Structure 1
Amino acid sequence: MEKTILQHEISKLRSRQAQWEPFAWYKEMRENSPVYYDTEQGVWNVFLYEHAKRVLFDHQLFSNKKERSLIPVPRNDNRSNVNSSDPPEHRKRRALLAKAFTPRNLKEWEPRIQAIVDELLTDMEGRETVDIVKELAIPLPVTVIAELLGVPSKDRSQIKFWSDILFLPYAKDAYHDIAERKAQTMEDFCEYLYPIVQEKRKHPADDILSDLIQAELEGERLNDKEVVLNGIGLLGAGNETTTMLLSNMFYSMLVDQPGVYRELRADMSLVPQLTEEVLRYRFPAAIDRKVAQDTDIFGHTMKKGQMVVAWIGAANRDESQFHDAEEFDIHRPGNHKHLAFGAGPHFCLGAPLARKEANIALTTFVKRFADIGLVEGFEVTEHLVDSAVGQSLKSFPVRVERA
Structure 2
Amino acid sequence: MTRRLLIVHSAGDFREAWRLREQSGGEVYYGHSYILDELARMAATFDEAGYLAGSAPVYDERLPSGARVLGAGADPYADPAPTLAAMARFAPTHLIVHGPIAPLLRWGLQNQLEVGCVLADSFHIDPVRRWLRHRGLPRLLNDPGITLVGNHGVNAARGLVDLGVRPDKVIAWDFPHARSPADFAPRQLGPAGPRRLFYAGLIVRSKGVGELIRAVARLKPTRDVRVSIAGAGRVDAYRNLARRLGVADRVEFLGLVPNTQVLEHMRQADAVVVPSRHAFPEGLPLTLYEALTSRTPLIASDHPMFRGHLRDGESALVFPAGNARALAAAIERLFDDAALYERLSRHAADAWQRMQCPVKWGTMIERWTRGDPSDLAWLRSHALDAGEPQ
**Which range, TM-score by smaller chain?**
under 0.3
Higher relative contact order by CA 8 Å / sep ≥ 6: 1 or 2? 1
Q: Which has the higher helix share?
A: 1
